[in-house]
Structure 1
Amino acid sequence: MELVRIQCKFMINFNVVVYIRLPNRLRGFKYVVRTMPNVASCLNAALYHSSELSHGKILPVKWYQEVFPRLQKLSHFLKNVDLVDGRLINLEDNSTIRDERIWHRIHNFKTLARAFLGAPSVQEELRRNMKASMADRKYTPPLCFTKSSEREPIVINSLKHVCNILNISAQQRKVVRAMICPHVTQHKLWTAALEEILKGLKLEMDSMSHSCPTKGTSMAQQIVSSCLSFIDETAYFHDQDSSSWMRPKPVKVVDSPSSHKWEEVLEMFNDLINCLRGAEELLFHVSKLDVMREGLTLIKDVVVNRNHCFKEVRHQESLVQKKLVKALGLSSLCLFTLLQYYLYGTVRDMAVEVSGGLYEVGKEEARLFCMGKVVASDEERMISNGVKELDRKLGLFKFVWETAGMKGSLELQGHIWCVGAMHRTLTYKGKLFFVHGISL
């Protein structure tokens, strides 16, 4: 269990700080409300996730009636805005939104909406929709999202977490690690993931430098440039697909730099983290620098010099992969970041808004795996983005399930809730997606 600090500021500049105890699976989620005119609503939304109400108790009908108008208002205001894996985006141009007021509103909206998923009317519609859409199945659809724990948000940042959710045994986890590690630790993928993190950080700092440059960010920009130069030096400029005898020998440079080690990047990452410590706008990027330090620590003694002969360069790359494969375990955040980049080209952790779960169906060890999302609008663009986001996250679980060689089939479902939406089902890449309405 973890205590979470909630601060509400009244219009008369009187502050109330409330500490509530949340389940472990909500660790890392902080619900902060500032300048909220309806303080009672914000506290009720927070208390919905408290230990007392997380055991399946239903909120009073009056609470839903009082809060629903605010939920509708927030939904209208945020109709072109969504939160995807910690990134607040404008769906009109896919740009990142940094407005603090919109951040507060989207978090308030998502929290209130998740509370409504436990309402009897919403639960009844969910059961009715699933039964109608799955009438051709040989089994009765299970009751999904009935427990409050299944309606909570979670952040998945390790393979161990994925295996826990899928109930994968210790023996099968060894298979998962043995199968995945050699693929996601390839030298080209390792350097590409580092580059993705550094370029994302550079882009963010460049946008900040125009408004509020600081000594720390100026120094950090120089360090990032040095890191990118180092990574560029690790890239072997000959065609990797051609036979070795066809490749020309590297050109000898008169004043070629001496060989470097990955330890230099590790030191630069340490300096970067120190420079940017306390910069809330760059918190995600700094956290990823910290995650990748694990891998850099493992390979710090490996030499980098692209002026070496082809065989020597390949040996250096092989050493990087061998050291990473040997030491990165299922609980490694670094390994999970590499897997995310390997599958989807992203380095962001997986933030699931409505956790769902694994359900037994039929008689042949078949399973149904569900997760969900809350959106502010039922416009086609919003629903389409939600479906694609859930598809990626469901796909990761399917990938791990199949890699582990689990018995029985795994059917995937995504559920999207929207205020006032009409029920419909969609099929995307062989997966079934439900659109549900939130109403009184």
Structure 2
Amino acid sequence: MLKLGFCSKFLLASKHIGLRRLNVCFYHHSQELEEEFPPSEWYEKAYPKFLKLTHILKNVDMNNGRLMNMDENSIVIDDHIDREMNEFKSLGRAFIAAPSMQKQHFSATHSIPNTCFSKPNERESLILNSLTKVSDFLDVSAQQRKSVRLKICPQVTQHHIWRGALVEQLNNLKSEMGVLCSHPITIGVQLGEQIVSNCIQFLTKTMNSSATDSPSWMRLAPTKKADHRPSRRWGDVLEMFGDLAKCLKHEKRLEDHVLKLEGMREGLYQIKDVLIDGDLGYREARHQEFLVQKKLTANLGHSSRCLFTLLLYYLNGSVRDIEVEVRGGVYGRGSGSFCLCVGKVLTSENERMVWSGIKQLDRALGLFKFVWEIAGMKGALELQGHVWCVGAKERLVRYKGNVFLVHGIRLR
């Protein structure tokens, strides 16, 4: 049975720029069929629209699901700009696929696999929000996935990683709700802001002295509870996260955060009976931290969104899912070595934009490399990032030991 492939992207772009409907459908069979491309006139008509969008969106970029003004380092909330950005990215992928671009960029540099981004699915986007997606991309076997979980869990479920990821998630949510306050807001967002503030305050007050760098003999013994108040537990945070998710479940602009809240609730449920009091004695506090790690390690599966969030925080100090705009793939290079390529289309050749794009790609490449190595995949893996933008000078950049190639998009 034939399956519809890449044609919809060209049809969508054609609709946006007012071109006639083009019969440029691509299909995939059990055997790979040769890809067809639109006629040269399509590119000639689409290019002016692409240039216009480049000018309109200059220094605006998609940063892991958020529209950002890179000059002001601020979040952009504008449905019209969001639609234009989606159109820009769609056209950008179409130009990457152009035969002239493939020849220009990939045959001229011997270090880039000739097949890189040559297939339609390799020019699609990919949101990395679970270990399963990362493992699928790398073709990690079921047995290797079990090994990955067993190796990752003890590292990422340490108490300071767990608490840090929760606080980071709440701070991110608080920041974005603050941006929404400049627009008409709902009662749900108003209530959500109160819950977020209370939850951050709760986590701060229950921070135990064992989390500091002071040696145990220097720490003061806990004071006796005069009021005999009941001990606080992680279940209190679980309840707050549940209320917060209910308040924000209809807020489209915050849906990614709601998914994160739901994911972290999975972990909170596993440790809901573990004490979280800040005035526990040193030994008891260490025991409670051990229980957090033990319960999370035992119960968070390979496909757990909570486990993936902890991994992101462990690797990058951030809990945001990673969006790869041009997914690329893993390509064999002979002699048992491989090259992993991913890419991004930028609205400007400004150095700040280029470096921002490189750093975003590096985050994805680092995640892939980590899972590749911890899964014990055979063969050396080279990492490559590619950024495309109009007017850019072709060059090779090295960042953290990896290769990043900057490409100019031009009609000819």
CA-CA distance at 1:241 after TM superposition: 4.1
CA distance in 1, matches of 2:71, 2:168: 24
Which residue, out of 195, 199, 215, partners 1:223? 195
The residue aligned with 2:165 is: 193
CA-CA distance at 1:114 after TM superposition: 0.5
Matched, 1:82 2:61: yes
Query: TM-score, normalization: structure 1?
Result: 0.84
Which whole-Å deviations, capped at 9, do the CAs of 1:196-251 have from their partners, x for residues lacking one? 11122222223333542432222222222222233223311356444434422112
Code of the aligned partner of 1:90:
N
Which residue, out of 308, 315, 318, partners 2:287? 315
The residue aligned with 1:105 is: 84
Structure 1 segment 32-431 matched on structure 2, within 5 A: 38-40=17-19, 56-131=35-110, 134=111, 141-238=113-210, 240-255=212-227, 257-363=229-335, 365-431=336-402
Q: In structure 2, do the counterparts of structure 1 residues 274 and 343 end up closer, same or farther at CA, with 3 Å as the change threshold? A: same
CA distance in 2, matches of 1:228, 1:379: 38
CA distance in 1, matches of 2:136, 2:179: 39
The residue aligned with 1:9 is: none
CA distance in 2, matches of 1:210, 1:127: 46
CA-CA distance at 1:292 after TM superposition: 1.1
Code of the aligned partner of 1:178:
L
Which whole-Å deviations, capped at 9, do the CAs of 1:155-192 have from their partners, x for residues lacking one? 11111221222222233222222221111111111111
Query: TM-score, normalization: structure 2?
Result: 0.90
Task: State the percentage of identical aligned residues.
Answer: 48
Q: State the number of aligned residues.
A: 403
CA-CA distance at 1:57 after TM superposition: 2.8
CA distance in 1, matches of 2:368, 2:298: 24
CA distance in 1, matches of 2:25, 2:398: 32
CA distance in 2, matches of 1:378, 1:306: 50
Aligned-pair Cα RMSD in Å:
2.8
CA distance in 1, matches of 2:52, 2:276: 56
C-alpha contact 1:32 1:104 (8 A) present in aligned 2: no
CA distance in 1, matches of 2:268, 2:167: 13
CA distance in 2, matches of 1:214, 1:126: 49
CA distance in 1, matches of 2:48, 2:185: 41
CA-CA distance at 1:22 after TM superposition: 7.1
Q: In structure 2, do the counterparts of structure 1 residues 275 and 103 end up closer, same or farther at CA, with 3 Å as the change threshold? A: same
Code of the aligned partner of 1:208:
L
CA distance in 1, matches of 2:76, 2:99: 35
CA distance in 1, matches of 2:239, 2:319: 21
CA distance in 1, matches of 2:258, 2:27: 32
C-alpha contact 1:262 1:299 (8 A) present in aligned 2: yes
C-alpha contact 2:161 2:314 (8 A) present in aligned 1: yes
CA-CA distance at 1:86 after TM superposition: 0.4
SS of equivalent residue, structure 1 residue 334:
helix
Code of the aligned partner of 2:64:
D
Q: In structure 2, do the counterparts of structure 1 residues 413 and 125 end up closer, same or farther at CA, with 3 Å as the change threshold? A: same
CA-CA distance at 1:51 after TM superposition: 6.1
Which whole-Å deviations, capped at 9, do the CAs of 1:326-353 have from their partners, x for residues lacking one? 1112211111111111111111111000
**Structure 2, unpaired ranges of 5+:** none
